[in-house]
Amino acid sequence: MKLQDKNTIVTGGASGFGAGIVARFLEEGANVTIVDFDETAALAYMESLKSDRVHFEYADLADGKSVAELFDRLQTRWSRLDVLVNNAGTTHLPALLEDVSEKDFDKVFAVNAKSVYYTSKFAVPWMKQQAAGAIVNIASTAALSPRPHLTWYNASKGWMVTATKSMAIELASERIRVNAICPVAGETPLLASFMGSDTPETREKFLSSIPLGRFSTPKDIAATALYLASDEAAMITGVALEVDGGRCI
């Protein structure tokens, strides 16, 4: 029960890594708000969780007004916020860097980078009031050891790592910890978009660069998010922790 009675937000909690984090946080006693723009998926997932400590809030995290309204509703519901997981993310399809459309570039940066600016505008003042809080940002090994043809996605995750370190140093005196997780390619619906096509050949190509010989899973990422969000990591801030089976060695 490492998060007993903690109020936690998991963005993109309807699918993939986020869904894994939601389930693990619930097992550890947390109250969890899933924030997602896929209401159908979120409600179906919540139904399967059979918990009265999870609830869903719609928000488009790439839209500042939508995020402001989200925090208005949350502040009516909760008197404090203990943990924020900025997990929602997206990618462009693999392409030569000069061929990625401006629309796709803007989408990637709006969801992967600007959403963190938006959630920080509300979550950080809230955590400052209570002089406590933990923020976990889901970055990627793409930030540390980029693959070709995903350049703008990789760069958005590099942004996430620098934002994490800068947030951590600025917020340390407020007793707010900020850390990032850098997962290697993982078994989620987003994987096919990274690979371009989900075939045995593309899977083999990705797997061949992971020394432990498998993709990451939502359970791997959830275990790491739990640790970084919990008091067990009380002395840890500003790290970008690879969960990558050795990919970045």
List the catalytic residues.
153
Site string for ligand NAD, 60-79 (x = CB under 6 A): xxx-----------------
Q: Does 14 bind ligand NAD (CB under 6 A)?
A: yes
| Residue from the set 17, 25, 122, 126 that interacts with ligand NAD by CB under 6 A | 17
C-alpha dist (Å) from residue 13 to 25, 119, 201, 205: 11, 15, 30, 28
Q: Least separation, in Å, of the C-beta of 77 and ligand NAD?
A: 18
Q: Does 243 bind ligand NAD (CB under 6 A)?
A: no
Nearer to ligand NAD, 104 or 174 (CB): 104
Cα 145 → chain centroid? 19
Site for ligand NAD in 98-157 (CB under 6 A): 111, 138, 140
Q: Does 84 bind ligand NAD (CB under 6 A)?
A: no
Structure token digits, residue 222: 């959830």
Do residues 42 and 13 lie in contact, with contact meaning Cβ atoms separated by under 8 Å?
yes
Q: Least separation, in Å, of the C-beta of 99 and ligand NAD?
A: 21
Euclidean distance between CA atoms 209 and 153, whole angstroms: 19
Q: Does 40 bind ligand NAD (CB under 6 A)?
A: no
Q: Does 191 bind ligand NAD (CB under 6 A)?
A: yes
Q: Does 245 bind ligand NAD (CB under 6 A)?
A: no
b/e string for 209-222 if b means 16 or more Cβ within 10 A? Answer: bbeeeebbbbebbb
Structure token digits, residue 200: 């045995």
In sequence order, what are the residues at sequence separation of 6 or more whose Cβ sits closer than 8 angstroms to the Cβ of residue 44? none
Euclidean distance between CA atoms 87 and 20, whole angstroms: 11
The residues binding ligand NAD (CB under 6 A) are 12, 14-18, 36-38, 41, 59-62, 87-90, 111, 138, 140, 183, 185-186, 188-191, 194
